[in-house]
Structure 1
Amino acid sequence: MNLKEAFILLFTHGIPILFFTYMATDVLLRNKKKTEHILLSLISLCYLLLFAEEYIRNQVSIDYSPILSALWLSSVGIAIPGLGFHFLVKFTRLETKLPRFVYPYVFYLPLIFIFMNLVTGAKWISAQQFVQMGMWKLPVYNAGYYQAMSVSIMINFSYLIPLLIAKSKSDTLEQRTIYNHLIFGVVVSVIGHIIFGYFNFEDSLPPYPYLYSGVIWCYFLRHTMKRHDFLNLYDKRYEKLFNMNPDAILLIDRMQTVKDANPRAIQLFRSFELEFAQFFNLLDPIIKERMQAKLEIDHYETDISHNNKRLFLLVNADYVWVDNEQHVLLILRDISVQKRHQEEVKFLAYHDPLTRLPNRRYFHEKLEEALQEAERHNQTLALLLIDLDKIKLLNDTRGHLAGDETLKYAAQIIKEAVEDCGVAARMGGDEFILFIANSPSYEEVERKIEHMQEKFSKYISKYGALPVGMSIGVSRYPTDGVEGQALINIADNAMYEMKRSRA
């Protein structure tokens, strides 16, 4: 072999060897644990071995061609279809339809043929006659060669079966596009196999030129992988965005199993003492239904309760294909703080910020409703107006903190007096008001007044002999009036009468 022929051989076989070496290594390094990566890497390795055999065979004596073709080329060639079918069935997720005693063992039945091939010397599979033409040692195109070639082409063409089945069952444009790419790759490689396998180009091309159809097929696999990234859990370019995102992100498969979670999601669930497996049991059924139906989830507000904690979430979702299987990318924004602020603002619109009792506006609305209810059911109602006497003196002598605490305690005992049969409110300053519905008796009202005054006096006693007390005026519906303001005015007059009598 002269220098020119050595360079030609390096170009025709060395470059494919480098291509398959790169592809096998790159695919495997992406994920060493996933079956699809391992299988695709093994397929690339097999094609590498085919080109390596031809590189060596064309440099040694033609006498070695039959044994190299029989023991090396044929054995590796037999292994490729099993690996190819296993890869396609796994990639298309059709393995879930196969019995467990069949998958994946059925794909490795060709190993039996490899054993038979080695035992028989491959006389019934590989070419046994070779002829030197120019720089190439070419196989003789006889009946045995064409039979083996026809079987090989039919096997390659049958790669379309799992792809077409999977395409017919796919329900997204993205997945159908992936299958279309691979189907096109199979068709192109089969056409190349037919042209370069059946027709004898003599010394115009290297021996077994149909091997280059393997380059075409693996190129389409590589191209599809790069374009759709179906062999990566998520694109490395977005890994930092995934990990640094301030929102919790969950990657969920069709069985509602969390396959991956970013650090914020782990932190959120840990602070909430919640396991990922428990999450779906607590999730809003509407969200689960929309996920099952693959419907849009956009800025959906929900909340979950667990261990006496309540978590408010703003939920967004998208549907992505990972490892050729549809997943839900669930984005959870913790809006608990904002929600509590909103609820506080809403609460303060109708409540007093210090005592947390309803304010004047809320009380008037509820009083009107109660009066209408009493009129419909021919019931009575009692209204009590309460003023804390000398509260300014407490502020001046003990400080405003003591005054605030006294107001809050007064609010507590007034609220307890109402229970569930009325509404208590702070009118402003040191004045409170309440009504008791459902026809309270005179004795019941007097008992509540005495109880409130007694508890308040006992509380005030801790500040010493201060003349701080509780003056209470009472009016009744319908005896003293039928309108709310009239009842308030009468109770106000009664309250000031008590205040003057205690001065």
Structure 2
Amino acid sequence: MTISTFIYYFIAYILPSSVLLSMSFVVIFRNPKRTEHQLAFIIINLYAIIFLGEFTRHALPTADSPYIHEYVIKICGLFIVMFSFHFFAKVAKMEDIMSKWLYPWVFYLPLPFVVYNILTVNPSLLIENYVRQGPWVYGVLDPTYYVTVLASCIISLPSYFMLKNGIKRVHSKQDIRLLKFLSWVVLGSIGVILVLGLPDYRGILPPYPYLYIGVLFAVLITYSMLKYNFLSDENDQYATLFNLNSSATLIFNDMWKLEKANQAAFLHFPDNTKEFFALFHASINDEQLVNIKNQLEQGKSVHSIVYHMKTDNLSTYFKLDGKRFIKNRSISYYLICRDVTEKQLADDRLKYLAYHDTLTGVANRASFVQLSEKYIVDNPTHIAYFGLLDLDHFKEINDIHGHIIGDEVLIHTAKIVRELVAESGHVGRLGGDEFVFAVSDNKRFTNALQLMDSVHHAFRNQPFIFRDVFIEVKLSIGCSEYPLEGTTYDELYTLADQRMYLEKRTRKEHVE
């Protein structure tokens, strides 16, 4: 073999096979676990083997050409057809509509014919069909050759129709563009086969020039991979999503040690809330976090769980979503944390306003009624006292001292009653200067009269003093006893209201 002949062979066969091999590894390394990657890798390598076979066929004596052609090139070609069908069917998502008994086995039905060809062919009878012309060894262009070329074009048409059918069933614009592109690749390949396979290029081009469709296939697959993110590496996609996520995204190992955090985790959170990242790894007694960890360790996902973290200087709310995943037999925990402190505080404020009096902080009318009715349902026999109080001459306080002082008097009143009731009941403001309370402490208060005396005593001992203004707050009280004097809120309220106005009228008559 002369140097010039070797250069011909290098350019025609070694170089294309090298390109094909390198492209096949680009494809498989993108994601070796996906079927599409594996099939494309196999197809491209089969084309590379064909080119290496052609190089070997030309390097050896002409008498060896039929053996290499029959046992290497033709068999690789048949395998390319089978794997190509499977590849395009997979890309077109044909498994969604094909029976599991057909997919993907139907694409490998020609396999027995491959075996039959290996066992029955006699290459020695085909030696006369090969002629060396210059550096090239050409095969005879007989009817069998042309039938083979046309058959390869016809066999490619089902791949085109599978891709067109897939366009109707996918929903992503990206997938639609990809399938359209690949369908044009199939049609273009058929055109290239016809242009390079039917005319006689002996003396002009290397033998079987239509084989260069393999290089075109590899180039277009690589192009589609880059343009449409087709056959993309899941790790690359994951890393992109991980880094672009505007929420703090954390990955813990199976020992709950933080392995990775995206940039948002450090941009969104104040420095002292970064302590949160270490909480999962620490041995803590936080019941909520322990429950979250247990759920994830059991393989259950967590969704939109609000976790309240308190530090020395800050109270922070996180909304957590998490999932366990296994990669390379290693367990990791993926956690997305959103700082929802502002929203949570706003929600808490709205909830507070819905149930509390904005001025005094005690329960509003609706909330007090709800609490009282719940107590009645939960405690059908336990004694409790229901009290109603009204400030005497409150209008005069507003008229003389102004509404600011009047508001402070109401706050002072709520504070005294709340301290008296403590944990044994609840206090509410019905409106204006009218307050209501319920007490279930039978050890401190043995009857309603004792409770009323205690309230009056508390106000006498805690006069109102604000900005050098001294006011002796006087009030009228009425109490009723549950369940002796009433078993519903309305009954208890009505009786307490009557007794309160009786006390107010009695005191007024006494003054007069």
When the two structures are superposed, what TM-score results if normalisation uses the length of structure 2? 0.61
Residue number in structure 1 paired with 2:344? 340
Residue number in structure 2 paired with 1:10? 10
Matched, 1:357 2:342: no
Q: How far apart, CA to CA, are the structure 2 residues paired with 1:124 and 1:160?
A: 38
Q: 1:7 offset after TM fit, Å?
A: 1.2
Q: How many residues align?
A: 382
Q: 1:186 offset after TM fit, Å?
A: 0.9
Higher mean alpha-carbon deviation, 331-340 vs 86-95, is at 331-340
Native 8 Å contact 2:86 2:104 kept in 1: yes
Distance 1:269 1:2, change over 3 A: farther
Q: How far apart, CA to CA, are the structure 1 residues paired with 2:91 and 2:223?
A: 15
- Structure 1: give runs of 5+ residues left out of the alignment: 251-260, 283-302, 316-330, 368-380, 388-402, 437-445, 461-465, 477-486
Native 8 Å contact 1:386 1:471 kept in 2: yes
1:192-244 CA distances to partner (integer Å, 9 max, x unpaired)? 10111111111200111000112222222221111111212557277155157
Q: How far apart, CA to CA, are the structure 1 residues paired with 2:51 and 2:239?
A: 37
Q: How far apart, CA to CA, are the structure 1 residues paired with 2:78 and 2:123?
A: 14
1:451-480 CA distances to partner (integer Å, 9 max, x unpaired)? 4656999xx9xxxxx95799751489xxxx
Residue number in structure 1 paired with 2:198? 198
Residue number in structure 1 paired with 2:476? 473
Residue number in structure 2 paired with 1:176? 176
Say which SS state the counterpart of residue 434 (structure 1) adopts.
strand
Native 8 Å contact 2:20 2:44 kept in 1: yes
Distance 1:16 1:313, change over 3 A: same
Please give the residue correspondences for 1:415-430 in structure 2 after superposition, counting only pairs within 5 Å.
416=426, 423-424=428-429
Amino acid at match of 2:177: T
Native 8 Å contact 1:355 1:411 kept in 2: no
Native 8 Å contact 2:57 2:64 kept in 1: yes
Q: 1:10 offset after TM fit, Å?
A: 0.8
Residue 434 of structure 1, aligned match among 427, 433, 436: 436
- Superposed CA RMSD in Å reads 5.0
Matched, 1:409 2:419: yes
Say which SS state the counterpart of residue 159 (structure 1) adopts.
helix
Native 8 Å contact 1:130 1:139 kept in 2: yes
Residue number in structure 2 paired with 1:89? 89
1:20-77 CA distances to partner (integer Å, 9 max, x unpaired)? 1111111111222211111110011100000000011111111110111111111111
Amino acid at match of 1:341: L
Distance 1:110 1:18, change over 3 A: same
- Structure 2: give runs of 5+ residues left out of the alignment: 251-259, 266-276, 281-287, 308-316, 322-334, 370-385, 393-412, 439-445, 464-472, 480-496
Residue number in structure 2 paired with 1:28? 28
Say which SS state the counterpart of residue 433 (structure 1) adopts.
strand
Distance 1:434 1:408, change over 3 A: closer
Q: How far apart, CA to CA, are the structure 1 residues paired with 2:130 and 2:155?
A: 25
Q: How far apart, CA to CA, are the structure 2 residues paired with 1:106 and 1:364?
A: 71
When the two structures are superposed, what TM-score results if normalisation uses the length of structure 1? 0.62
1:401-458 CA distances to partner (integer Å, 9 max, x unpaired)? xx99977533546954x6xxxx43798xxx982389xxxxxxxxx965644656999x
Residue number in structure 2 paired with 1:133? 133
Amino acid at match of 1:30: R
Distance 1:77 1:497, change over 3 A: same
Residue number in structure 2 paired with 1:253? none
Native 8 Å contact 1:27 1:41 kept in 2: yes
Residue number in structure 1 paired with 2:441? none
Native 8 Å contact 2:167 2:179 kept in 1: yes
Matched-pair identity in %: 22
Q: How far apart, CA to CA, are the structure 1 residues paired with 2:289 and 2:191?
A: 55
Higher mean alpha-carbon deviation, 197-206 vs 99-108, is at 99-108
Say which SS state the counterpart of residue 132 (structure 1) adopts.
strand
Amino acid at match of 1:154: I
Please give the residue correspondences for 1:245-260 in structure 2 after superposition, counting only pairs within 5 Å.
245=245, 247=247
Distance 1:497 1:234, change over 3 A: farther
Q: 1:130 offset after TM fit, Å?
A: 0.7
Distance 1:495 1:73, change over 3 A: farther
Q: How far apart, CA to CA, are the structure 1 residues paired with 2:166 and 2:121?
A: 39
Amino acid at match of 1:340: Q
